[in-house]
């Protein structure tokens, strides 16, 4: 949710000042202090420009001193040399010092360590022997503990002139050049570079100093003053990606998948990509502006090297420039004659803790990154279905009504959501007793039809002495403190609020306990959680967030960990749901803010988007970017949060979103109702079809979620991840792959009669609806109707589906499968299915079915992929009721099934006919083999 829209002030019968915000939200408080009051008036004055992004509320680079300083530096600014190079504790370490200055003063320590599978980690921090005034913040709780065990113990380096190199990975080495200081990764044999650090000498590290008289350290922005007790402490440097045609990643921005240059000759003055978690009201659909979450991982891809990645683990505000070619034309630095993209990274605080990923394939980089920060949690099956949300479903009656309408209209869905209004005055873990008098019954009623509920729990706690959460938190000192050491008090939905300090593990554990059934009164096992506003959003704070000089546990300044605040909150909530079930079931928690590692705790959505075509379009690259940077389970509000989508836009949105990992309709308080059946029979049918298609593909999605869980490879993938040699895919973000088999082309314009689709080369593509085969390798215009968007199955793949229509995932549990086989030019195809109980952690003990289907030489075989396990098993009696073969030409008349050896029907017939296109497919009806068994089906 964004900020307040319209506010009126009145005095109620208790003589309390009450503030009514458009849409009927009510905040009553007798303790509104003057600055809040003025702030509110300020918002009222701002309302003249409603429904546009409030640019002035946010700092730009020029108003951000560290960013302005870093951007104005010229190449060769860095004068440091690396000395005292040696191997210590299996790492290569050195001192960085300025030879012109008094030698040992202000030196930095650099260390390089090498990990399995092509990962180099580099840290640069102040030298502890010089007793800096404070230890700089190093982000804990993100790097997996088991990553440490993948460290390769370095024994020696090779010295060549002033370069020191160590083995990195099969055919690659890492090099530290001492003068001028530079670090790079290269291929050993060719000397070709992959990634380099400080090749342009833009490295700068502002060391902590003790404040001297005359030091002006305070920073002002609008009405806010940041005391900055430790002065300037920023870090900046350049990173070059060699062989790169494009760079990607560093969410969250509403922008294209391939990142546009932000600085350089001929480039219109642009802001750098900002990474600073903010609650941005009505964000623009094309902007480098930082949104709700931050992942400082950039990937590059190109024809010559392939893919590489650079990740800076740092939770302070970051700004990143992608430099256009020729930006360094005036510098005299000579770099190897290799195509490359240069970038400039700037952060306000922290240390350098950087990871170089050498790839060289796209999936290698995401796997390398996942080995550092973890793969996605395995979601419960229900969470992969359709979610219906609105701010707000008013009361129990409304919930019942919406729920029954889904059944009446035969539309499947799994989860109904309640936004902030369900609480008693925005006190989370409570219910508005008038509107929701029987929350347990309500949830049980939904659960009786296999449906769940999600309620919202935000990190701002109403400062109300009668509210148990506030009482405990203030008594125990669990709140974030302001710069003076008092509980930080900011303005959010409940009015005057304080914020739980989730950085402290003891506080997280306390918070997690709040989700137990006894503490969260009115909750039941079918209730799950939504964390909003966790950037954190503070309505009267600088840039709508917490002041940077606020203090966390361990005397950490908010500026040092700002981007990780929401991550900790998400973590604690997710751990709460795990605790609630005694560690048995998987949690479901949706979060708006995120950070590296978020994928281990739950789901993310792209926040408060707008009901506009361009927002539908940008939702695709935003979700693909999240997948590239580890967070595969993400989605955008279907229909757009703000505003009323025209019907055609809403339908198109459902059609695209049905193929994206997290699928939820959501809308702002002030929008018209937009449940799927409100737009006439025809449109109800179109939306129903879109949602049903999603449900038929759930076995495939679930299998892909397991792949993401095992490897880090995302569910929704940019085309270039699957076709890394097909240049035409590198900056295509209108289409995407679901797994390696489905290509989805969105329709993003009103009244479209056709769309241009690029189908990657060297494959045949089968239209999902008609079975029509298309040769890949060129862009082609294709007709579209309002019925669906173009979706294709790639030749050589097998997709498991469940084609019977049900009300929810739970009701599909025992349904039989359909396998769709699209053969390649050699008549072969492969695919997988993964199945487990859909909710518990038993799969970790081996309670799952994992099969690979291999089709070749007219023979389909099911092979077991599950590891033999004696501790636990999962049984399913589900059978396969249909096998559809696309692109298979033969005179097949019957099939033989082994081992049972019974014959079954084969039918050659039209798959489905659309606009005159005829095509045929071979359908094997009722083979009725069990999904969990070994078998072979021979086509005779």
Ligand X SMILES: *[C@@H]1O[C@H](CO)[C@@H](O)[C@H](O)[C@H]1NC(C)=O
Which residues have a catalytic role annotated?
532, 535, 608
CB of 797 to ligand X, least distance (A): 24
> b/e for 722-753, b at 16 or more Cβ within 10 A?
bbbebebbbbbbbbbbbbbbbbbbbbbeeeee
Nearest-5° angle of CA 377, CA 452, CA 631?
25
Beta carbon nearer to ligand X, 710 or 866: 710
Beta carbon nearer to ligand X, 677 or 702: 702
Name which of 781, 800, 578, 795 is nearest 702 in CA terms: 800
Q: What are the structure tokens assigned to 341, written together?
A: 């993209």
Beta carbon nearer to ligand X, 604 or 822: 604
Give the C-alpha separation, 335 to 246, whole Å: 19
CB of 370 to ligand X, least distance (A): 9
CB of 376 to ligand X, least distance (A): 7
Per DSSP bridges, beta strands 817-822 and 880-886 are parallel
Q: Mention every residue, 6+ apart, whose C-beta is less than 8 A from residue 643.
A: 51, 610, 611, 612, 668, 671
Using CB under 6 A as the binding rule, the residues of this chain from 704 to 733 that contact ligand X are: 709-710
Give the C-alpha separation, 34 to 110, whole Å: 50
Strand partners, 343: 239, 322
CB of 379 to ligand X, least distance (A): 8
CB of 575 to ligand X, least distance (A): 12
Q: Mention every residue, 6+ apart, whose C-beta is less than 8 A from residue 49.
A: none
CB of 698 to ligand X, least distance (A): 18
Indicate the residue whose CB is closest to ligand X.
377
Q: Does 347 bind ligand X (CB under 6 A)?
A: no
Beta carbon nearer to ligand X, 602 or 640: 602
Beta carbon nearer to ligand X, 586 or 652: 586
Sign of CA dihedral 408, 413, 415, 418: negative
Q: Does 377 bind ligand X (CB under 6 A)?
A: yes
Spell out, one character per residue from 657 to 686, where the chain touches ligand X: x when CB under 6 A holds, - when not: ------------------------------
Beta carbon nearer to ligand X, 485 or 583: 583
Q: For the chain, how many residues are written?
A: 940
Nearest-5° angle of CA 440, CA 445, CA 450?
115
Beta carbon nearer to ligand X, 710 or 854: 710
CB of 833 to ligand X, least distance (A): 17
Q: Mention every residue, 6+ apart, whose C-beta is less than 8 A from residue 74.
A: 331
Using CB under 6 A as the binding rule, the residues of this chain from 378 to 397 that contact ligand X are: 378
Using CB under 6 A as the binding rule, the residues of this chain from 301 to 340 that contact ligand X are: none
Residues 574 and 589: beta-carbon distance below 8 Å = yes
DSSP labels for 469-491?
A: HHHHHHHHT-BPB-TTSSBP-EE
Give the C-alpha separation, 199 to 240, whole Å: 8
Stretch that binds ligand X, among 41-49, 126-134, 370-378, 619-627 (CB under 6 A): 370-378
Stretch that binds ligand X, among 190-198, 375-383, 614-622, 654-662 (CB under 6 A): 375-383
HEC profile of 838-867 = CCECHHHHCCCEEEEEEEECCEEEEEECCC
Beta carbon nearer to ligand X, 375 or 808: 375
Beta carbon nearer to ligand X, 373 or 498: 373
- H-helix or E-strand spanning residue 704: helix 698-711
Q: Mention every residue, 6+ apart, whose C-beta is less than 8 A from residue 96.
A: 80, 81, 82, 83, 107, 108, 109, 110, 124, 181
Site size for ligand X (CB under 6 A): 6
Using CB under 6 A as the binding rule, the residues of this chain from 168 to 227 that contact ligand X are: none
CB of 375 to ligand X, least distance (A): 5
Give the C-alpha separation, 175 to 164, whole Å: 6
Q: Mention every residue, 6+ apart, whose C-beta is less than 8 A from residue 424.
A: 430, 431, 432, 433
Q: Mention every residue, 6+ apart, whose C-beta is less than 8 A from residue 102.
A: none
Give the C-alpha separation, 114 to 352, whole Å: 16
HEC profile of 768-789 = CCCCCEEECCCEEEEECCCCCC
Stretch that binds ligand X, among 142-150, 374-382, 661-669, 731-739 (CB under 6 A): 374-382
Stretch that binds ligand X, among 208-216, 373-381, 485-493, 688-696 (CB under 6 A): 373-381
CB of 815 to ligand X, least distance (A): 25
User: Helix crossing, 647-657 with 613-628: angle to 10°?
Assistant: 20
Contact with ligand X (CB under 6 A): which of 301, 367, 460, 586?
Answer: 586
Residues 109 and 125: beta-carbon distance below 8 Å = yes
Contact with ligand X (CB under 6 A): which of 375, 545, 606, 609?
Answer: 375
Give the C-alpha separation, 616 to 637, whole Å: 9
Residues 886 and 773: beta-carbon distance below 8 Å = yes
Give the C-alpha separation, 590 to 387, whole Å: 12
Beta carbon nearer to ligand X, 207 or 709: 709
Beta carbon nearer to ligand X, 378 or 473: 378
Give the C-alpha separation, 389 to 350, whole Å: 38
Q: What are the structure tokens assigned to 483, written together?
A: 């710069």
CB of 136 to ligand X, least distance (A): 30
- Quick check: helix, strand or coil at residue 752? coil
Stretch that binds ligand X, among 371-379, 650-658, 693-701, 873-881 (CB under 6 A): 371-379
Spell out, one character per residue from 813 to 842, where the chain touches ligand X: x when CB under 6 A holds, - when not: ------------------------------
Residues 301 and 730: beta-carbon distance below 8 Å = yes
CB of 587 to ligand X, least distance (A): 8
Name which of 534, 526, 507, 531 is nearest 580 in CA terms: 526
CB of 601 to ligand X, least distance (A): 9
Beta carbon nearer to ligand X, 389 or 589: 589
CB of 571 to ligand X, least distance (A): 13
Query: How many other C-beta atoms can be found within 10 angstroms of the C-beta atom of residue 393?
Result: 24
Beta carbon nearer to ligand X, 178 or 376: 376
Residues that bind ligand X (CB under 6 A): 375, 377-378, 586, 709-710
């Amino acid at each position: 949710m964004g900020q307040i829209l319209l506010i009126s002030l009145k005095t109620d019968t208790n003589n309390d000042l009450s503030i009514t915000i458009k849409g009927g939200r009510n905040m009553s408080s007798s303790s509104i202090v003057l600055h809040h009051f003025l702030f509110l008036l300020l918002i009222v004055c701002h309302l003249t420009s409603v429904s546009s992004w409030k640019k002035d509320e946010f700092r730009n680079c020029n108003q951000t001193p560290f960013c302005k300083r870093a951007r104005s530096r010229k190449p060769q600014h860095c004068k440091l040399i690396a000395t005292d190079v040696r191997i210590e504790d299996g790492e290569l370490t050195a001192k960085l010092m300025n030879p012109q200055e008094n030698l040992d003063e202000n030196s930095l320590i650099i260390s390089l360590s090498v990990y399995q599978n092509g990962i180099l980690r580099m840290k640069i921090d102040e030298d502890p022997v010089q007793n800096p005034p404070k230890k700089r913040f190093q982000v804990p709780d993100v790097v997996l503990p088991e990553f440490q065990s993948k460290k390769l113990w370095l024994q020696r380096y090779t010295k060549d002139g002033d370069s020191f190199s160590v083995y990195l990975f099969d055919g690659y080495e890492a090099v530290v050049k001492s003068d001028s200081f530079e670090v790079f990764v290269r291929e050993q044999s060719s000397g070709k570079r992959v990634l380099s650090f400080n090749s342009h000498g833009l490295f700068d590290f502002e060391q902590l100093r003790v404040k001297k008289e005359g030091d002006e350290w305070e920073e002002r922005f609008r009405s806010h003053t940041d005391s900055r007790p430790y002065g300037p402490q920023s870090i900046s440097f350049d990173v070059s990606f060699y062989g790169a045609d494009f760079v990607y990643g560093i969410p969250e921005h509403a922008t294209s998948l391939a990142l546009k240059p932000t600085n350089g000759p001929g480039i219109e003055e642009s802001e750098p990509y900002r990474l600073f978690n903010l609650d941005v009201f009505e964000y623009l659909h094309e902007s480098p502006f930082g949104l709700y979450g931050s992942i400082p991982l950039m990937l590059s891809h190109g024809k010559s090297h392939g893919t590489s990645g650079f990740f800076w683990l740092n939770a302070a505000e970051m700004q990143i420039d992608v430099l256009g070619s020729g930006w360094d034309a005036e510098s005299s630095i000579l770099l190897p004659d290799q195509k490359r993209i240069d970038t400039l990274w700037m952060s306000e605080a922290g240390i350098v803790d950087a990871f170089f990923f050498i790839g060289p394939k796209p999936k290698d980089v995401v796997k390398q990154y996942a080995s550092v920060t973890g793969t996605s949690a395995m979601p419960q099956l229900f969470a992969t279905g359709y979610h219906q949300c609105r701010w707000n479903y008013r009361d129990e009656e409304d919930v019942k009504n919406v729920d029954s309408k889904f059944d009446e209209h035969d539309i499947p869905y799994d989860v109904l959501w309640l936004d902030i209004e369900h609480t008693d005055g925005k006190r989370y873990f409570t219910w508005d007793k008038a509107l929701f008098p029987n929350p347990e019954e309500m949830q049980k009623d939904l659960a009786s039809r296999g449906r769940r509920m999600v309620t919202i729990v935000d990190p701002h706690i109403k400062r109300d002495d009668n509210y148990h959460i506030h009482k405990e938190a203030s008594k125990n000192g669990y709140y974030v403190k302001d710069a003076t050491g008092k509980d930080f008090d900011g303005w959010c939905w409940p009015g005057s609020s304080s914020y739980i300090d989730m950085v402290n593990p003891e506080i997280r554990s306390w918070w997690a306990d709040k989700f137990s059934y006894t503490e969260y009164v009115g909750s039941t096992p079918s209730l799950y959680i939504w964390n909003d506003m966790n950037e954190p959003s503070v309505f009267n704070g600088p840039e709508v967030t917490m002041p940077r000089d606020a203090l966390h546990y361990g005397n950490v300044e908010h500026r040092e960990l700002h981007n990780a605040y929401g991550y900790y909150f998400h973590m604690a909530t997710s751990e709460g749901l795990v605790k609630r079930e005694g560690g048995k079931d998987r949690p479901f928690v949706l979060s708006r803010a995120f950070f590296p590692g978020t994928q281990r705790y739950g789901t993310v959505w792209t926040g408060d988007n707008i009901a506009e075509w361009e927002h539908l379009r940008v939702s695709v690259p935003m979700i693909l970017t999240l997948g590239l940077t580890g967070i595969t389970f993400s989605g955008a509000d279907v229909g757009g949060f703000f505003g009323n989508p025209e019907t055609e836009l809403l339908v198109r949105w459902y059609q695209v979103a049905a193929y994206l990992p997290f699928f939820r309709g959501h809308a702002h308080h002030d929008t018209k109702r937009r449940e799927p059946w409100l737009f006439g029979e025809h449109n109800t049918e179109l939306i129903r079809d879109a949602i049903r298609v999603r449900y038929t593909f759930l076995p495939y999605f679930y299998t892909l979620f397991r792949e993401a869980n095992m490897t880090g490879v995302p569910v929704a993938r940019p085309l270039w991840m699957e076709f890394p040699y097909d240049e035409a895919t590198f900056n295509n973000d209108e289409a995407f792959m679901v797994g390696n088999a489905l290509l989805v082309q969105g329709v993003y314009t009103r009244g479209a009669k056709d769309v241009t689709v690029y189908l990657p080369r060297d494959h045949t593509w089968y239209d999902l609806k008609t079975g029509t085969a298309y040769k890949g390798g060129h862009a082609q215009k294709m007709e579209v109707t309002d019925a669906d968007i173009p979706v294709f199955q790639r030749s050589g793949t097998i997709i498991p589906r469940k084609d019977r229509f049900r009300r929810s995932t739970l009701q599909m549990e025992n349904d039989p499968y359909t396998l769709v086989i699209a053969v390649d030019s050699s008549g072969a195809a492969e695919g997988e299915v993964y199945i487990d109980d859909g909710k518990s952690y038993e799969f970790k003990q081996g309670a799952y079915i994992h099969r690979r289907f291999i089709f070749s030489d007219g023979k389909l075989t099911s092979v077991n992929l599950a590891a033999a396990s004696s501790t636990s098993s999962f049984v399913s009696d589900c059978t396969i009721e249909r096998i559809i073969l696309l692109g298979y030409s033969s005179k097949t008349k019957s099939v033989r099934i082994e081992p049972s050896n019974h014959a079954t029907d084969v039918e050659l017939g039209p798959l489905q006919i659309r606009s005159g296109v005829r095509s045929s497919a071979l359908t094997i009806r009722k083979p009725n083999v069990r999904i969990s068994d070994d078998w072979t089906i021979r086509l005779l």
